[in-house]
Structure 1
Amino acid sequence: MATAGDEFAIETQSEVVGARAGSLLMRPVEVVAAILLVLIVGLLLAGVFTRYVLHMPVVWIDEAASISFLWFAMLGSAIAIDRNEHLRLTVFINMFPARWRGLIETLATLLAITALAALLMPAVDYVREESWVTSAALKIPVSYRVSAIVVGIVLMLVVALAHVWRTAARQEIVVSVVIIAALVGLGFLMSPVLMGLGYFNILIFLVGVAAFCLVLGVPIAFCFAVGTIGFLAFTTHVPMIVMIGRMDEGMS
């Protein structure tokens, strides 16, 4: 029996509303992700054994595990998009009239797609920059590691676009695109005013915009991505590549 608190709970992987079986297209990606998971566990166990049992630490193990984890995280994100298993808040969606829910679901997915599209070229530029850097232990270009971000973004874009095209009504897609285009255009028009607001923009974008996306059922990770992208694009002159760098650091 459901309780009052249940409807406000964030969905877990096994309880996601609308979760679906993975597509055949993503089967090879799932295999690679599974291999990476086993590899990461093996590397970390080997690192612990050599460091604390043999007292002969292998310096490249941590670096190899970091590379593997970044690839694992990005491939896993694409798999979660494919299965519709990213964490999101659905309590507000259920409050909307049934006739609006299809449009809201489409708008939420296209907002996530917009965030991914905005990050794609900065991610490519980041890989180019990192190709000049050599890793300390393995002596390989760091671009081998950060290429995972580009591959993950591309996979997520392909999977999300394919899902929208298969499931959403064309009218819902058009209306959602118009809404997003209008919001982006408004952001650029208001940019001079927003830049004068200073730290108040943090409240607008990282709280207000993120909360708006939560209400629409946008996956939580993409809610904050949309807010951060809007903050950087409309209120600062900071290049978007900085966000990719922070993603890399966070996952590494």
Structure 2
Amino acid sequence: MAILDGQAAAADLLAHVGLRAAEFTERTGRAPMLATVLVGSDPASHTYVKMKQNRCRQVGIESRRVELGQETTTEELVAAVEALSADDAVDGILLQHPVPPQIDEHLAFEAISPEKDVDGVTLASFAAMSFSEPGYASCTPGGIMRLLDAYDVDLAGKHAVVVGRSRILGKPMAMLMLERNATVTICHSRTTDLADRVAEADVVVAAVGRPELVRGAWIKPGAVVVDAGYNAGNVGDVEYGAAAERASWITPVPGGVGPMTIATLLAQTMDSAERRGA
């Protein structure tokens, strides 16, 4: 068993982003900018946004933080996002989720201009990603692909099982792996023969949001295991200890997928800045 070290791979990616940001700033006279929209008072969301702002600062990307109150309406949030989409100084937009329950999150996401959707949450981004067209991948699946590439994990001809079907993780993950010529099975918490499906997999991506749902005994010897879950107590969606005894490669929790998500967000912000120019 070997570790897919997201901390190390993210550090390499961010170092490259920093070089690109410095060159862009020197050439254009302005720093690339990521705008983050935060609605409400969820403590975890505030922590995540602060972490992303710190990473921006470290690599030379300017960050703009837009905070809206807990009682914000869908219409107010959409207006704020549309204003950022129209602002030429902004290269990328991140709407931190979850949002308060009164807000239609889908409408808010769709207010993001596709050219600034560096978090890969719009329908346009999903379509572009699925058909290998110019655009931005959802950051966690995109980060997973970058992590697998960093360790030369070849997906061509492999059977990949994705456990989870969310719009920003499970479904885009499956599309990205399919584009790399993997044969992909999508499972979820209601799959009746989940253990059997996982046992067939050469690559397992767990992204269902249930602590240790994927048991170590299910893992095919030599399989690659990517745990995209993060639950209370630093527990992932995979029973780590038992899975590590059978896997050829495995991500730790924390320190695996999480760092790659943020690094991918900033890399895609840099992509947007370069495409848009000055």
TM bucket normalised to smaller: under 0.3
Higher relative contact order (CA closer than 8 Å, sequence separation 6+): 1
Report which of the two has the higher share of helix: 1
Q: Highest CA radius of gyration, 1 or 2?
A: 1
Report which of the two has the higher share of strand: 2
Normalising to structure 1: TM-score of the pair? 0.25
